[in-house]
Chain A
Amino acid sequence: MPTVTIDGKQVEVPDGLTILWAARKAGVNIPTYCYYPWFAPQGNCRICLVEVEGVGKLQIGCQTPVRDGMVVHTNNERVFKARRGVMEFLLLHHPLDCPICDQAGECDLQDYGYKYGFPVGRNRHLRRTFPKTDYGEKISKEMNRCIHCRRCIRLAEDYMGVHHIGMLNRGDHSEIGSYIEAAIPSGWAGNVIDICPVGALTDKKMRFSARVWDLEHVPARLKESAMKDPVKCRYGSEAMLGLYRGKIYRVTARMDEHRVMKSMICDEARFEHYDLDDWIIEEDADITTPVESGPRPARELEEMARKELEEEGKLNGGRVESPPPSEISSAPGTGMDLGRQTE
C-alpha cells in the first residue's frame, strides 16, 4: 500500500487510488466539477489541479493515481492561482444570476467561486449568450450557466442509454444540446438535473417556487400502491423530498456530502408525486457515506424490477406500459464500451 503525503498529512492508501480520493481519506477536500464517481474521469474542468513534487506541470487530482512516496500540495499559492484562473474562465461568460437561480445554495460554482474567485471581473466584453431551449416540459435548460463539465452527457449515455444529448459546436461557443431540441427520451431523464453541478439544468416544476436553503430534506421512498409504473419506480424511488411547511416542493435523488447521487430516481417519482401520502419517510437512510462508484444503469434496473414483479405476479396485464428499455449498443464507437466505466 503506497504512502502519500498530502498537505503534510501522511496517509496509507490502496494501490491505484487517485489523488482526489487519497486526499479525501486524509481529510483534505479537493474541488471538483467534472469528476463524478459514477464515471471514468474525463479531466476537462481543471479545477482539481494539484501540485505533485517532482512533476513540472500541475496534475489533475481526479485522474492521477498515487505513487508511493508522493508528496502532494493541494493548497499552496501555485495551486490557488491555477484554480483562481480556472474559476475566472468558468465565470467569464456566466450570467451571475444567482438571485434568480434555483440551484443557488447548492451550487458548486457558488461554493468554489467564493473560495477561489477573483474579487473583480477583468472581462470587458459582452458575455456569450445562448438561446434558451428546454428539454421538454420538465427540465429547464439554461445554457448560459453551463460550465461544460459534461456530466449530463455521460449520465445519459452510460446510465440512461440515450444518445440524445451531446456537445454542439466547438471552442467557446460549444453548448450542450439535444439533437433536435427535443426532450430526452428516457423515463430517467430528470437525473440530469441532479447531476448538473450548476444551475444549467433545473427542475421546471420547482422553478422559482422555493429556495433550497429553506427546504427541509427528508429521505423517502414511494409507496408501492402509489406507483403508476412499478417497473421504473421499484428501484427508482429512493428519493429525497424537499419540504417546506409540510408541503413537497421538489423531489431529488439522495446525495452524499460531496453532492454525488446515491442512485438514480425515475421521472415518475421526481415529477408526479407531490402528495406526502404517496411517500414512506425513511428517516434513518444513510446519506453521508461518500459514493465511490456508480449504480446500475437504468436498463438493468428496469429489467430486474420487471423480473421480480413478474415473479410476484404484480405485472397485471397492460398495467406496465413503459417503453422497452432503451438499447445500449456496445458496438465499437458508440461510447458505451470505450473509456467509460459502468457497473
Chain B
Amino acid sequence: MALEKIVFKGIDIPGRTEISVYEDGGGYAQWKRVLSEKIEPNELIETVKASGLRGRGGAGFPTGLKWSFVPADSPKPKYMLCNADESEPGTFKDREILEKDPHQLLEGVLLGSYAIGANTAYIYLRGEFVKGWKMVERAIAEAREAGYIGKNVLGSGFDIEVWTHRGAGAYICGEETAMINSLEGKRGEPRLKPPFPAVEGFYKCPTIVNNVETLAAVPKIVENGPEWYGQWGTEKSKGTKLWSVCGHVARPGVYEVPLGYPAQKFFEEDLGGCWNGNKLKAVIPGGSSVFAMTPDEFFACNLDYESIAEHGSMLGSGGMIIFDETACLVEASTVIAHFYAHESCGQCTPCREGCGWVLRMFRDIEAGQPQPGAKDVLLDVMDQIFGATICPLGDSIVMPIKSMMEKFPEEFEYYIREGKSMVTGKTRLAQLAQPDKPENWRRGEPFDYPREQDYKTSFKGLAHDLSRGPEPLFTKFEDE
C-alpha cells in the first residue's frame, strides 16, 4: 500500500483550476457517469457509507450515514451546504483545496447534491478567502458553461444550481446551524439541536452540511469504489486526512497522510521536528479547540480518530499546532482565550460571560496582578462553562486551556506567583513596553494588544489595586 494522495492528488498539476486541465485528469467523469447511467441516489449514499468516509470538519460523523438521514420522501426542497468557513486557529487545509483545486470540490458538491436529492447547493466561504472565493466562482462559471450545472444537466432531467456565499468574519458561522442562520440572513447563532439540519435545516428544509475536505474526497470514492478508499486508514477511520501543521515546526504546511499514520514518524520524518532543533513541548492536534497533548502522549498515538481520543485529545479539524520549549503556555492560553472571547456569539450565558472572564483573568496574570487563588478560580470557571452551552464553542475554550493547565501546572503556577514567564523570563508588560522589538510581537502584528474595539462599549480593563504598584501600562489604551 503505497502512500497515495486522494484529496491532494491533482493539486500540484499546473493549471488545475481550469476546467480543461481538470477534465484531462478525469475530472467530471463521475458526474457525467452518474447522470448518464442514472445511478440511484441511494446507491451513491451506500457507496459513501461503505467507504467509511467521516466528516473532516471537526466532529468526524460518518458522511454516508448523515446523508441517509435526509428524508427521501419529504416534499420540501433539500439543500446541500458546503462548509468552507474555515476559521479554526491552526487550520488551513480547506483553503488549499479552494484555491488550487476548486473543480474537485465542485464535483463533490454536485455528487453530494445528487445523492441527497438537492437542487440547490451553497458554498459558504470564509469572508477573508478572497482568492478562494474567486477560484470557486470561476470554477462554477466554467462548469455552468460546460453544462455541468444548470437546468436539466446533460439531458438527465436533474436540476442543480450552485451558489457561493461569503461570510462576514465570524468563526461561529462555521458551526453548521449558525451557518444556516447566517445564510438565511439572520444573526449567525447556533440553533438548538435536535432537530438536526438533515431533518430541519435551511429554511426548515432537510439540509446537509459538509466540510470542503469531506466533499473533495467524494469524487475519488465514486470513481474507485469504497474498497479502494478503505485500503488506507484503520478499521474505523478510513482514508486519508489533511493535516495543516503550524507553530514551531521545521516544515509547516498541509500534508495528506493516511489515517492511522504514526504520529512520531509524521513528526520526525515528514515535519522534520521542531524548528532549530528545539525540543517539543506540547501539541494541539486538531485545531485550537481540542485538548493539548504532551510529547509522550503525542508520540504514542497514531493519527486517527480513535487513537488520538485514546491518548487524551481529539482529531478535530486536523489543524496541528506545535509548541516547542520556547513557547510560554500562559501566553498561548491568553491568545486562545482572546480568540474565543472575541468569537462567542453571545447567545448562551456560560460562554458569553465566561469566555470574557477567563480572558480578563489571564490578562491579570500576564500583568502580574492575579487575583488570590487565580488558578483555582480559573479552573472552576472553566468547569462552569464546560458542557453547559448550546454549541461546542463553550467547550472549545475550556479544552485547550484546561488541559495545558493540568499538564503543565508549574508554568501557570510560576507565572501567577512570580508575575513573569517561566520560559522566557519576561513579563508581558515588559514586552509591551518595547513594541518595536519583533520578538515581542504577537500574531505577527506589532503592539496590537489589547485591541481597542474589545473595549468599545464596555470594559475599562483591569480593576486596579493601587497597593500593587503602578498602574499597568496598557490601561491607557482602555480608557476612552
A residues less than 8 Å from B354 (CB atoms): 89
Interface contact A130-B384, CB-CB below 8 Å: no
Residue total for B at the interface (Cβ-Cβ under 8 A)? 46
Interface status of A45 (Cβ within 8 A of chain B): yes
Interface contact A89-B384, CB-CB below 8 Å: yes
A207 to B457, CA, bound (A): 26
Interface contact B463-A126, CB-CB below 8 Å: yes
Interface status of B458 (Cβ within 8 A of chain A): yes
Would you give the shortest CB distance from A179 to chain B, in whole angstroms?
A: 14
Complex interface residues of chain B between 329 and 368 (CB less than 8 A to chain A): 341-350, 352-357, 360, 364
Interface status of A341 (Cβ within 8 A of chain B): no
A96 to B138, CA, bound (A): 57
Interface 1/0s, chain B 358-395, versus A by CB < 8 A? 00100010000001000001000101110111100000
Interface contact A148-B457, CB-CB below 8 Å: no
A residues less than 8 Å from B456 (CB atoms): 173
Interface status of B122 (Cβ within 8 A of chain A): no
A56 to B172, CA, bound (A): 24
Interface status of A132 (Cβ within 8 A of chain B): no
Interface contact B341-A57, CB-CB below 8 Å: no
A46 to B456, CA, bound (A): 27
Complex interface residues of chain B between 148 and 184 (CB less than 8 A to chain A): 170, 172, 184
Interface contact A171-B384, CB-CB below 8 Å: no
Interface contact B192-A43, CB-CB below 8 Å: yes
Chain B residue nearest to A81 in the complex (CB): B384
Chain A residue nearest to B191 in the complex (CB): A339
Interface status of B265 (Cβ within 8 A of chain A): no
A126 to B185, CA, bound (A): 35
Interface contact B357-A46, CB-CB below 8 Å: no
Q: Which of B203, B341, B390, B462 contacts A125 (CB 8 A)?
A: B462
Binding-face segment, A24-32, A220-228, A330-338: A330-338
Chain A residue nearest to B353 in the complex (CB): A89
A residues less than 8 Å from B342 (CB atoms): 171
Interface 1/0s, chain B 393-413, versus A by CB < 8 A? 000000000000000000000
Mostly, the A contact residues are loop
A43 to B388, CA, bound (A): 11
Interface contact B348-A130, CB-CB below 8 Å: no
- A46-B389, A57-B387 are contacts. A169–B346 as well, Cβ < 8 Å? yes
Interface centre among B348, B349, B383 (most CB of A within 10 A): B349
Interface status of A11 (Cβ within 8 A of chain B): no
Interface contact A58-B345, CB-CB below 8 Å: no
A147 to B348, CA, bound (A): 10
Interface status of B451 (Cβ within 8 A of chain A): no
Interface contact A171-B350, CB-CB below 8 Å: no
Interface contact B460-A332, CB-CB below 8 Å: no
Chain B residue nearest to A334 in the complex (CB): B185
Interface contact B355-A89, CB-CB below 8 Å: no
Interface contact A338-B204, CB-CB below 8 Å: yes
Interface contact A89-B349, CB-CB below 8 Å: yes
Interface contact B371-A124, CB-CB below 8 Å: yes
A130 to B390, CA, bound (A): 26
Interface status of A175 (Cβ within 8 A of chain B): yes
A128 to B357, CA, bound (A): 11
A residues less than 8 Å from B172 (CB atoms): 170
- A124-B364, A125-B360 are contacts. A148–B349 as well, Cβ < 8 Å? yes
A86 to B352, CA, bound (A): 11
B residues less than 8 Å from A172 (CB atoms): 341, 344, 346, 352-353, 355-356, 458
- A41-B192, A46-B389 are contacts. A123–B458 as well, Cβ < 8 Å? no
Interface status of A186 (Cβ within 8 A of chain B): no
Complex interface residues of chain A between 125 and 168 (CB less than 8 A to chain B): 125-126, 128-131, 147-148, 166-167
A residues less than 8 Å from B357 (CB atoms): 89, 92, 123, 125
A131 to B357, CA, bound (A): 21
Interface 1/0s, chain B 426-439, versus A by CB < 8 A? 00000000000000
| B interface, CB within 8 angstroms of A | 170, 172, 184-187, 191-192, 203-204, 341-350, 352-357, 360, 364, 371, 377, 381, 383-385, 387-390, 456-463
Beyond the given pairs A49-B388, A172-B353, 14 more chain A to chain B contacts, judged by CB atoms under 8 angstroms and listed by A's residue number, are: A43-B348, A44-B347, A44-B390, A58-B388, A81-B384, A89-B352, A122-B377, A126-B462, A147-B349, A148-B346, A170-B172, A173-B458, A335-B186, A339-B191
| A interface, CB within 8 angstroms of B | 41-47, 49, 56-58, 63, 81-82, 84-86, 88-90, 92-93, 122-126, 128-131, 147-148, 166-167, 169-175, 332-333, 335, 337-339
Q: 23 A-B residue contacts at CB 8 Å?
A: A41-B192, A43-B390, A46-B349, A46-B388, A46-B389, A58-B388, A85-B381, A90-B353, A92-B357, A125-B463, A126-B461, A128-B459, A129-B458, A169-B457, A170-B344, A170-B345, A171-B355, A172-B458, A332-B184, A335-B186, A338-B184, A338-B204, A339-B204
The 9 residue pairs across chains A and B that have the minimum distance between CB atoms? A85-B384, A174-B346, A89-B353, A128-B458, A172-B356, A333-B185, A171-B344, A124-B371, A44-B348
